Structure 1
């Protein structure tokens, strides 16, 4: 049941996002668009409540409950960022706004960008681990090994992402000489 709800929430996220952006840029209904986009967090609230009720009704903690916590953590940390990025692309494609600036590709600017993304992953991990720990305390006497496994998975993901982000700082990617020459010639 929980896994089906996670899939429904993910599909609902993209449907609400597409509807919100379509209403904003095609129909020019800004208030309706904001209302649709503000419904996005309700999906996570519903998922959280259903997961808690499922555990309360005696369900054995499973990988579905762990996945729900990871999903909620991810959407808390990356949901607004995703919406903002896609809003910029929709404004460009549908409303004639300038093309959104992509992430930096080289040097210290890229390292800072990767560091900010890692901080989002840190937030996602903190939220997911807190929810999982709350579920462990909530169940109290049952088998919570699957929930602990998901806590470790979240922490491993954080460590791997941190290592990757750190490599951009230690070994920054250099801009190709041909691109630098073209940029200087155009000035």
Structure 2
């Protein structure tokens, strides 16, 4: 079943980018804004599918692997960062592909620090969602010997979030400067 989970992760990641690209093409090239947004909105559904596949595998007796843990991480990240990732892709697609709209802004100084800290807060939201799913799965399976890796993932992710926070704070202390042209 592990190969199925890893394969599902690869398919879901590819489908994520297909949904993004087709969604943008439908919205801007073909003028199908509603259909384009529907495709863009499918991305969390892909992650939910992945989470269900991993959960069923664990429920059926599998021992947790990194692939199982990443299913929960993916859905947390997708929910927390989904809108901002779509907005980011949307801006760049309009400017670089369609040659419309304004060039995406490069940020420096306090503006960069504030924007980066918003990313840290999104990361914290992703952590709360993903870690909650990992802890819930650990509890639902009820056999710590098979789900130990899930809780280890929570602790490692907490460390990564702490490092991300420190980097975010550092941008307020040492603001990013614009490079001379």
TM score, norm. by length of structure 1? 0.86
Q: Which residue of 2 aligns with 1:184?
A: none
Task: Compute the displacement of 1:112 (Å).
Answer: 0.7
Farther-moved stretch of structure 1 (86-95 vs 154-163): 86-95
2:116 is the alignment partner of 1:114: yes
Q: Do the aligned partners of 1:128 and 1:154 also contact (CA within 8 Å) in 2? A: no
The equivalent of 2:127 in structure 1 is 125
Q: Name the CA distance, whole Å, in 1 between partners of 2:170 and 2:138.
A: 35
What's the RMSD between the two structures over aligned residues?
1.8
Counterpart Cα distance in 2 of 1:175 and 1:62: 43
8 Å contact 2:92–2:104 — kept in the other structure?
Answer: no
Partner deviation per Cα, 1:22-80 (whole Å, 9 max, x = no partner): 11111111122122122222112211221221112111122211111112111111122
Measured in 2, the distance between the counterparts of 1:130 and 1:8 equals 25
Aligned counterparts of 2:16 and 2:34: Cα–Cα separation in 1: 18
The unaligned stretches of length 5 or more in structure 2 are: none
Name the residue aligned to 2:42. Answer: 39
The one of 162, 167, 172 equivalent to 1:169 is 172
Alignment of 1:139-158 (within 5 A): 139-143=141-145, 144-158=147-161
Q: Quick check: 2:44–2:75 contact (8 Å CA) kept in 1? A: no
Mapped to 2, the partners of 1:81 and 1:129 lie a distance apart of 21
Equivalence map 1:91-102=2 (5 Å):
91-102=94-105
Report the CA distance shift for 1:174/1:130 in structure 2 as closer, same or farther (over 3 A). same
In structure 2, C-alpha distance between the alignment counterparts of 1:152 and 1:117, rounded to whole Å: 20
Q: CA deviation at 1:94?
A: 4.2
- Distance in 2 (CA, whole Å) between partners of 1:133 and 1:150 is 10
Runs of 4+ in 1 over 6 A off after TM superposition: none
Unpaired runs of 5+ in structure 1? 180-187
